[in-house]
């Protein structure tokens, strides 16, 4: 009897708990300070803080926070609203729609190109500028007039690391390619890698398809090692790619490995550990760039983390925020008799911000940037880095190769 009573109480409690969770659904959204009245604008960001792209998202969150610290207080004041977009389209859609409920002037994100194809059209239809800090797949700026990016497209960056591998080992001939077939970015990047391998006259001996959800890669690795490759090229995301590298090394492969932009983060150290050593990765950013803005960015990064070499995703996220802020500053200067931007209608502000953003030139940590009218970034400098792990195998750094690729298009 006592037991029955207890179990009923438990059930009642849990039902009440479940219902209380549903309660906010019926009511209205708890109101947030809308910023109306005081001259502060809101900037939204949809970043992958969970799921298999979360290692990228962590880097980006830091970049946005550093930029908020640097620019948020300057006029026109900006508030950052960061939402977790997950690593899939549904979560990103919900996060983006949630941000569209707020008076955001522009959006930064999402982390993955695949998500961008799903959510950018929503923002574009709503007339909200979206600036992508890490979408490098082909076709992103073409989504709509309000979509642009600061991340150089894969077609510019990816071939450089193959050329670098060739310089490190001029005798290499046989190339094996791996790519995550269920990831939009990786399938887009591998096409560029394969083209570039063929155009250099190398022999593409095998193409292995993996999945971002895979953990065990024994079978595809064994299949590719049978072909005796002397270069392995991987397009994948940090978690699966890191495991893939680790297992390739564990299975005895000694040659060079080139990885794509999906793994362009020090967060892979924790996954492949000492086996990360020697990975070649093309970079759109170099911590060693000798410009005032980059020195400032590196100093901020060092203050926050203690390390002096920010990853590319952090630099790109910082740059995205910076570009939007500077475009707003420019817009503010153009206002007759110094009207605050917040007094403009939101739709008009968004439209003007978009055109101001695309016409400006920006000195950023990535170097000097500008945009094509369509929203594609025009960037001058690219680099190739090689991962050098320390003796403990726990941490390492991206060491830039001294010889940047000669044939930039």
Partner 1 sequence: MEAGLLVQMLLGALLGLSVYLPLRCGQLSLATPGFFAIGGTVAALLSTRVPALAGSGSTYPIASVLLEMVLAALLTGVLALVLGRMVLRLRGIYLAIATIALVEILRVVTLNLEFTGGAVGIFGIPQPFQSAEGYGAFTLVLLALVCWMCDRLEKTRPGRAMAAIRDDELAAASQGINTADTKLLAFVLSALVAGITGVVAAHFLNSWNAKLGNFDASITTLAFVVLGGSRTWLGPVFGGLLLTALPELLRPVGDLRLIVFGAVILVGPLIFPQGLITLERLQALWRRRPPWLALPSNRGRR
> Which of residues 50 and 227 has its CB atom nearest to partner 1 in the complex?
50
> Which of residues 59 and 277 has its CB atom nearest to partner 1 in the complex?
59
Judged by CB under 8 A, which stretch of 93-101, 160-168, 249-257, 272-280 contacts partner 1? Answer: 93-101
Among 24, 218, 343, 380, interactor with partner 1 by CB under 8 A: 24
Q: How far is the CB of 130 from partner 1 (least distance, A)?
A: 13
> Which of residues 84 and 277 has its CB atom nearest to partner 1 in the complex?
84
33 belongs to the binding site for partner 1 (CB under 8 A): no
Q: How far apart are CA 257 and CA 249, in angstroms?
A: 10
> Which of residues 144 and 404 has its CB atom nearest to partner 1 in the complex?
144
Among 83, 230, 240, 277, interactor with partner 1 by CB under 8 A: 83
Among 33, 34, 38, 50, interactor with partner 1 by CB under 8 A: 50
Among 101, 295, 343, 395, interactor with partner 1 by CB under 8 A: 101
213 belongs to the binding site for partner 1 (CB under 8 A): yes
Among 62, 137, 248, 387, interactor with partner 1 by CB under 8 A: 137
> Which of residues 210 and 326 has its CB atom nearest to partner 1 in the complex?
210
Among 6, 14, 372, 403, interactor with partner 1 by CB under 8 A: 14
Q: Which of 49, 55, 48, 47 is nearest to 242 (CA)?
A: 55
> Token pair of 87, please?
């690593």
Judged by CB under 8 A, which stretch of 92-100, 215-223, 242-250, 368-376 contacts partner 1? Answer: 92-100
Tell me how many residues contact partner 1 (CB under 8 A). Answer: 45
Contacts of partner 1 in 111-130 (CB under 8 A): 113-114, 117-119, 121-122, 125
Q: Which of 163, 225, 149 is nearest to 193 (CA)?
A: 163
Query: Could you report how far apart the first and last alpha carbons of the chain are, in Å?
Result: 81
**Residue 316 near residue 134, CB atoms below 8 Å:** yes
Q: How far is the CB of 195 from partner 1 (least distance, A)?
A: 16
> Which of residues 112 and 300 has its CB atom nearest to partner 1 in the complex?
112
Q: Which residue has the tokens 């699966």?
A: 240
Judged by CB under 8 A, which stretch of 81-89, 128-136, 275-283, 329-337 contacts partner 1? Answer: 81-89
- 71-75 contacts at long range (C-beta below 8 A, 24 or more positions apart): 71/321, 71/322, 71/325, 74/325, 74/329, 75/329, 75/332
378 belongs to the binding site for partner 1 (CB under 8 A): no
Number of H helices, E strands in the chain: 12, 15
Q: Which of 63, 193, 33 is nearest to 131 (CA)?
A: 63
Q: What is the DSSP string of 107-167?
A: EE--SSHHHHHHHHHHHHHTT--EEESS--STTSGGG-TTEEESSPPHHHHHHHHHHHHHH
Q: How far is the CB of 56 from partner 1 (least distance, A)?
A: 16
Q: Is 397 buried (19+), middle (13-18) or exposed (0-12) by CB count in 10 A?
A: middle
> Which of residues 96 and 276 has its CB atom nearest to partner 1 in the complex?
96
Q: How far apart are CA 312 and CA 291, in angstroms?
A: 16
**Residue 271 near residue 263, CB atoms below 8 Å:** no
Q: How far is the CB of 97 from partner 1 (least distance, A)?
A: 4
Q: In 10 A of CB 380, how many CB atoms? A: 11
Q: Is 297 buried (19+), middle (13-18) or exposed (0-12) by CB count in 10 A?
A: buried
Judged by CB under 8 A, which stretch of 18-26, 326-334, 354-362, 374-382 contacts partner 1? Answer: 18-26
Contacts of partner 1 in 166-205 (CB under 8 A): 180-184, 186-188
CA–CA distances in Å: residue 139 to residues 154, 188, 283 = 11, 10, 20
Q: Which ranges of 27-53 would DSSP assign to H, the alpha helix?
A: none
Binding site for partner 1 (CB under 8 A): 10-11, 14-15, 18, 21-22, 24-29, 49-50, 83-84, 88-91, 93-94, 97-98, 101, 113-114, 117-119, 121-122, 125, 137, 143, 180-184, 186-188, 213
């Amino acid at each position: 009897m006592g037991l029955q009573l207890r179990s009923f109480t438990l059930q009642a409690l849990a039902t009440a708990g479940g219902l209380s969770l549903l309660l906010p659904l019926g009511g209205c959204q708890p109101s947030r300070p809308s910023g109306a009245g005081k001259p502060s604008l809101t900037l939204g960001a949809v970043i992958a803080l969970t799921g298999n792209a979360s290692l990228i998202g962590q880097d980006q969150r830091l970049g946005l926070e550093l930029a908020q610290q640097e620019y948020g207080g300057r006029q026109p004041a900006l508030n950052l609203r960061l939402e977790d977009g997950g690593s899939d389209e549904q979560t990103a859609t919900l996060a983006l729609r949630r941000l569209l409920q707020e008076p955001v002037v522009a959006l930064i994100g999402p982390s993955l190109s695949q998500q961008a194809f799903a959510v950018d059209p929503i923002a574009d239809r709503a007339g909200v500028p979206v600036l992508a800090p890490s979408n490098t797949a082909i076709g992103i700026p073409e989504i709509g007039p309000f979509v642009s990016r600061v991340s150089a497209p894969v077609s510019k960056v990816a071939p450089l690391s193959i050329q670098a591998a060739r310089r490190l080992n001029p005798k290499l001939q046989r190339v094996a390619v791996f790519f995550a077939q269920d990831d939009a970015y990786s399938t887009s990047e591998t096409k560029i890698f394969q083209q570039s391998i063929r155009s250099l006259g190398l022999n593409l001996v095998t193409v292995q398809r993996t999945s971002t959800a895979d953990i065990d890669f024994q079978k595809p690795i064994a299949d590719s090692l049978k072909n005796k490759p002397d270069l392995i090229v991987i397009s994948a995301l940090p978690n699966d790619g890191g495991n893939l590298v680790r297992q390739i090394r564990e299975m005895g492969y000694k040659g060079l490995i080139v990885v794509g932009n999906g793994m362009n983060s020090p967060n892979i150290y924790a996954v492949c550990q000492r086996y990360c050593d020697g990975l070649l990765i093309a970079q759109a950013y170099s911590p060693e760039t000798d410009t005032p803005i980059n020195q400032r960015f590196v100093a901020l990064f060092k203050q926050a983390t203690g390390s002096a070499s920010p990853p590319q995703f952090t630099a790109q996220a910082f740059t995205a925020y910076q570009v939007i802020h500077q475009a707003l500053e420019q817009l503010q200067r153009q206002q007759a008799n110094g009207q605050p931007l917040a007094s403009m209608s939101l739709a008009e502000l968004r439209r003007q911000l978009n055109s101001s953003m695309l016409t400006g030139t920006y000195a950023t940590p990535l170097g000097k940037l500008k945009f094509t009218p369509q929203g594609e970034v025009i960037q001058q400098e690219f680099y190739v880095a090689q991962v050098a792990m320390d003796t403990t195998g726990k941490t390492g750094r991206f060491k830039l190769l001294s010889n940047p690729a000669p044939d930039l298009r």
